[in-house]
């Protein structure tokens, strides 16, 4: 666990004024508007047609990032199936407030990519340790020597040699494909990172097309759908390269021997579209559900940039629509609304309605546009959860929840996770079977539950 995060359990934050809260909510609500997105896409396409330009997709590759290695494996097929011009950039990893602890993300990218790769028909070796920096530099130098066409052809080969630790194979590729000097490599990285910043993003494994960002193979289906709607699919109705896996509980039912831990936060867009589905997954599969809420990151001193916030909110719009989950009528609950709701959480758990309270609050803040910063809004949350408002008022502002949330945060970080929602699947002995971050990993937990139950039946 990153040492600098151990003290970030409950850093006090100044609550926004009512006017600022309202203004932030309106801005984010506008970002989340499906109508705005459609208008933006139509305008972008009109401009492209007027200028006669091709469909230009830009790809940003971070050599030491596991997600980038997955993404580069589909580049040739992407260019074959879709009538696009693919421009490839080398970039550095997220920096500054866009990612306070980059090593945690790199560690997760290796672990996550290993588990996800076979589900997508891709390759990624188990790689718990960081890459050899000298091999990273060599791989970067080889890729920096390529134009976009040769990059598309060789990036997966270079990545395979790098991630397998095959120094001899990587050197052979350098000899046959060429490599840049160190200064030229740095310049190429600087240029790609600058271009990404100009387009207002911060991460690796990103695709950019028509004013929208698509993260790695996990969001490629959004881009594929968009290109198909624009008539750029050469397969004319064929299967997508990387379709979104369906969240399916499966036929086997557990007897409570497995435990699904869920780490939600009350100010997380991604949590708001995943929480109810996670609860339902546990119900449908029979696994024991343990919900361990944490304080929102910005309320414990972890900064968030404007560009990161905008991407998360806009990305959640697409993900919510795909999942058929209500989302977008937003009223910011940062600060006191979150604290007031959490102060009711231990009492709600005693009533057997802790999950209902969290679900109701998330729905109010992210789907119903309810101002939870006043008693009227919070009363709606409480009563929608099946709780009594008169009794709830007696528990408002009680302490004790802070220690619960801090214990949860420490457990989450000890598992190598830091974002929300995060999930852990534990066996009957409490041993971890799988631990991942992201609402877009629920389908993988569903499959892992079925695999484990199936192994239990055959032993």
Picking from 160, 105, 104, 171, the residue whose alpha carbon sits closest to that of residue 134 is 171
The residue among 368, 359, 358 whose CA lies nearest residue 328 is: 368
Which residues does 415 contact at the CB level (< 8 Å), separation at least 6?
422, 424, 432, 435
Give the domain-ending residue among 209, 229, 249.
Answer: 229
| Pair 79, 224 in one domain | yes
Give the largest CA-CA distance in the chain.
75
DSSP 433: E
Q: Is 89 helix (H, G, I), strand (E, B) or coil?
A: strand
**Within this chain, do residues 192 and 103 fall inside the same structural domain, yes or no?**
yes
Q: Are 367 and 272 in contact (CB under 8 A)?
A: yes
- Are 42 and 190 in a shared domain? yes
Q: Which residues contact 285 (CB under 8 A, 6 or more apart)?
A: 249, 250, 252, 253, 254, 258, 446, 449, 450
Residues across the chain: 459
Q: Are residues 263 and 212 in the same domain?
A: no
Cα dist. 272→50, 292, 420 in Å?
Answer: 40, 15, 10
| Same domain, residue pair 215 and 279 | no
Compute the half-sphere exposure of residue 347: CA atoms within 13 Å on the CB side of its CA: 21
Q: What are φ and ψ of residue 236, in 5° steps?
A: 50, 70
User: Is residue 17 a part of any domain in this protein?
Assistant: no
Mark whether 395 and 443 lie in a shared domain. Answer: yes
Q: What are phi and psi of 261, to 5 degrees?
A: -90, 135
| Number of domains within the chain | 2
Q: Let me know whether 150 and 279 are in one domain.
A: no
Q: Which two tokens stand for residue 36?
A: 């705005």
Tell me, yes or no, whether 248 lies in a domain: no
Q: Does 16 reside within a domain? A: no
Task: Return the structure tokens found at 451.
Answer: 């695999």
* pLDDT tens across the length of the chain (459 residues): 333 334 444 444 568 888 888 888 888 888 778 888 899 999 999 999 999 999 999 999 999 999 999 999 999 999 999 999 999 999 999 887 766 666 788 999 999 999 999 999 999 999 999 999 999 999 999 999 999 999 999 999 999 999 999 999 999 999 999 999 999 999 999 999 999 999 999 999 999 999 999 999 999 999 999 999 999 999 877 899 999 999 999 999 999 899 999 999 999 999 999 999 999 999 999 999 999 999 998 887 777 788 888 899 999 999 999 999 999 999 999 999 999 999 999 999 999 999 999 999 999 999 999 999 999 999 999 999 999 999 999 999 999 999 999 999 999 999 999 889 999 999 999 999 999 999 999 999 999 999 999 987 765
Specify whether 110 is located in the same domain as 224: yes
Let me know: does 346 contact 400? Beta carbons within 8 Å: yes
- Asked whether residue 103 falls in the same domain as residue 210, the answer is yes
Contacts of 429 (CB under 8 A, 6+ apart): none
Residue-wise pLDDT tens digits, 353-388:
999 999 999 999 999 999 999 999 999 999 999 999
Q: Are residues 148 and 205 in the same domain?
A: yes
Give per-residue burial for 332-350: e unless 16+ CB within 10 Å, then b.
bbbbebbbbbbbbbebbee
286 and 421 assigned to the same domain: yes
417 falls within a domain: yes
Half-sphere exposure of 13 (CA within 13 A, CB side): 21
Residue 98's domain comprises: 36-229
Cα–Cα separations (whole angstroms), residue 263 to 183, 284, 285, 357, 442: 44, 19, 19, 15, 13
* Cα Rg, the chain, nearest whole Å: 23
The DSSP string of 165-197 is: T-HHHHHHHHHHH----HHHHHHHHHHHHHHHH
- Specify whether the CB–CB gap between 274 and 439 falls below 8 A: yes
| 243 in a structural domain | no
Q: Which CATH number characterizes residue 270's domain?
A: 3.40.30.10
219: in domain = yes
> Residues 31-47: pLDDT tens digits?
778 888 899 999 999 99
d(CA 38, CA 234): 23
Structural domain ending residue among the three candidates 214, 229, 244: 229
* DSSP letter for each residue of 150-161: HHHHHHHHHHHH
Cα 273 to Cα 321: distance, rounded to the nearest angstrom: 10
The reply to whether 278 falls in a domain is yes
Inside any domain, residue 250: no
Q: Distance of CA 30 to CAs 25, 143, 169, Å?
A: 8, 40, 50
Residues 159 and 287 in one domain: no
Between CA 225 and CA 205 the distance in angstroms is: 19
Segments in 148-303 forming alpha helices (H)? 148-163, 167-177, 182-198, 220-229, 269-285
């Amino acid at each position: 666990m990153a040492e600098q995060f151990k003290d970030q359990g409950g850093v006090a934050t100044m609550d926004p004024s009512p006017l600022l809260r309202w203004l932030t909510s309106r801005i984010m609500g506008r970002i989340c508007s499906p109508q705005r997105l459609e208008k933006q896409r139509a305008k972008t396409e009109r401009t492209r047609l007027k200028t006669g330009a091709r469909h230009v997709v830009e790809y940003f590759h971070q050599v030491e990032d596991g997600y980038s290695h997955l993404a580069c494996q589909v580049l040739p097929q992407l260019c074959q199936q879709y009538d696009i011009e693919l421009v490839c950039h080398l970039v550095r990893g997220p920096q500054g407030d866009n990612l306070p602890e980059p090593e945690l993300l790199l560690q997760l990218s290796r672990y996550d990519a290993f588990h996800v790769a076979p589900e997508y028909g891709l390759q990624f070796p188990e790689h718990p340790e960081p890459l050899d920096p000298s091999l990273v530099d060599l791989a970067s130098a080889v890729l920096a020597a390529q134009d976009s066409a040769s990059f598309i052809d060789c990036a997966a080969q270079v990545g395979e040699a790098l991630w397998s630790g095959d120094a001899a194979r990587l050197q052979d590729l350098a000899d046959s494909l060429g490599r840049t000097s160190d200064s030229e490599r740095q310049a190429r990285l600087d240029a790609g990172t600058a271009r990404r910043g100009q387009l207002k993003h911060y991460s690796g494994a990103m695709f950019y097309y028509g004013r929208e960002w698509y993260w790695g193979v996990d969001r490629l289906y959004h881009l594929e759908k968009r290109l198909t709607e624009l008539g750029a699919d050469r397969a004319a109705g064929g299967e997508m390269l990387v379709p979104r896996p369906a969240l399916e509980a499966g036929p086997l039912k557990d007897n409570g021997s497995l435990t699904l831990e869920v780490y939600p936060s009350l100010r997380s867009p991604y949590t708001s579209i995943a929480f109810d589905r996670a609860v339902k997954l546990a119900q449908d599969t029979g696994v024991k559900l343990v919900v361990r809420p944490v304080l929102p990151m910005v309320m414990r001193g972890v900064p968030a940039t404007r560009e990161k916030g905008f991407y998360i909110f806009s990305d959640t719009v697409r993900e919510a629509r795909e999942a058929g989950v209500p989302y977008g009528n937003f009223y910011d609950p940062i600060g006191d609304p979150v604290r007031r709701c959490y102060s009711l959480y231990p009492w709600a758990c005693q009533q057997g309605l802790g999950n209902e309270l969290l679900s109701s609050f998330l729905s109010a803040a992210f789907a119903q546009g309810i101002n939870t910063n006043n008693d009227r809004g919070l009363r709606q949350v409480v009563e929608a959860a099946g709780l009594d408002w008169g009794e709830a008022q007696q528990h408002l502002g009680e302490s004790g929840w802070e220690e619960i949330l801090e214990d949860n945060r420490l457990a989450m970080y000890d598992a190598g996770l830091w974002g929300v929602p995060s999930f852990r699947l534990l066996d009957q002995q409490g041993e971890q079977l799988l631990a991942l971050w992201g609402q877009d990993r629920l389908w993988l937990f569903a499959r892992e539950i079925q695999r484990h139950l199936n192994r239990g039946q055959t032993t």
